[in-house]
A and B are shown apart, each in its own frame.
Chain A
Amino acid sequence: MTIIAIKILLVSISAGILGSILGLGGGIIVTPALTLLFGVDIQHAIGASLISVISTSSGAAIAYIRDGITNIRVGMFLEIATTVGAITGALIAGLISPNLLYIIFGLLLFYSALAMLKKKKEELPGEVPLHSVASKLKLQGEYYDKALKKNVTYNVDNVYGGFSVMYGAGVISGLLGIGSGSFKVMAMDVFMKLPLKVSSATSNFMMGVTGAASAGIYLFRGDINPIISAPVAIGVLIGATIGAKIMQRLKSKTIRKLFIPVLMYVAIQMMAQGLGVKLW
């Protein structure tokens, strides 16, 4: 038992590192690792992945906020969209077949992976117009980039587009019980044109709230198994703390190179699920 707990802990540390760097919950590592390597059934794996989402978020946010990477205003404002979306998702979960949604969202992710591919040489967004709503909400900001060794000031564009994608991200979270970090990063990076590090850190920040919104349901249902979730929580918290330090020293270009294949993978997996094809 101790050996298994240590193994889960080690996998979770790596999930926490990758999740905090990319602004994802680490569920894309935790869920397949638990089901494939440890033979955990899917319900308990999803419960543990929800714990991983919340751990990554809270663990990494401490450093990201302290270092001024997270844009709290952007996060708080967009959380309106994700939380309303999450409740919508939970309410319609029983009503509609999620297959069509899987395909639509899979395509959307695929599109954003391509949009990101176009930006792969770009370190910072460059000149971005300040959207009028963004200006009213005081969303623009600045942060100190440890890789570039300079202060970066940035504007925020296309608030409506970003808000809509965030609502979609919330719906997916509510339907599937995931943090849907890939959609959050996409909304901020592709639509609102925030610097990638700010998008990743702010996605991380928001994910905990999205996760917490549905975690209660999973807990009462008994999907959060203490033996599995305990090493996941501890491991991911350790990993997220390490990842939050690493990310700040990476170039945005490097983070993007890591992000695009992960995005492609999630997109293909979602579309496959929608079409009823089993990938693993």
Chain B
Amino acid sequence: MINQEAHKLTREPNEVEILVAQSLRFGVLLSAAVILVGLVLFLFSGEGGYPGESYPTQLKDIFAGALSLKPFAIILAGLVLLICTPIMRVGISVLVFLKEKDWLYVGISSVVFLILISGFFFGK
């Protein structure tokens, strides 16, 4: 493995790749950490913070619950962050292509971003 790295045969990742990978890493680590905190809290206390097996399903209840440290709400907040990670990745791609003046791909990634956002409204 060290041998391969030393050969430097791998092509260097370009700026788009570096920034997209970094944004995904940020999203994944942040959401995993939040989910883990919620899960550990729940397993130790045995309480989800809500009556019975119930849990919040609306964004404002989830974030309000997470701020008052209810384990289920913390987990769900982490899951919301996880769901948002790929969407954020598309948004970041628009910016990176813009910076690279790659207009064709600015257009393509903007279209994807707009469709994704409109999908959220169709869902409601």
Contacts and interface: CB of A to CB of B under 8 A. Distances in A.
Given A72-B20, A87-B115, A212-B116, A226 B38 contact: yes
B2 interface: no
Chain A interface size, under 10 / 10 to 19 / 20 to 34 / 35 or more: 35 or more
Given A212-B87, A226-B48, A65 B17 contact: yes
Given A219-B80, A233-B79, A146 B4 contact: yes
Contacts of B20: 65, 72
B57 to A, nearest CB: 4
A150 B108 CA distance: 31
A80 B115 contact: yes
Contacts, number: 169
Interface residues of B, number: 58
Most A-side CB within 10 Å, residue of B11, B16, B119: B119
A237 B51 CA distance: 30
Q: In terms of DSSP, what is the predominant structure of the interface of chain B?
A: helix
Given A76-B93, A216-B119, 7 more contacts: A1-B46, A57-B86, A58-B24, A79-B90, A212-B85, A216-B120, A227-B42
Interface of B: 4, 9-11, 13, 16-18, 20-21, 24-25, 27-28, 31-32, 35-36, 38-39, 42-43, 46, 48, 53, 55, 57-58, 71-72, 75-76, 78-80, 82-87, 89-90, 93, 104-105, 108-109, 111-112, 115-116, 118-120, 122-124
Q: Which 4 A-B pairs have the closest CB atoms?
A: A208-B86, A226-B75, A217-B123, A144-B10
9 contacts: A2-B43, A62-B28, A66-B17, A66-B21, A84-B115, A209-B90, A212-B86, A219-B83, A233-B82
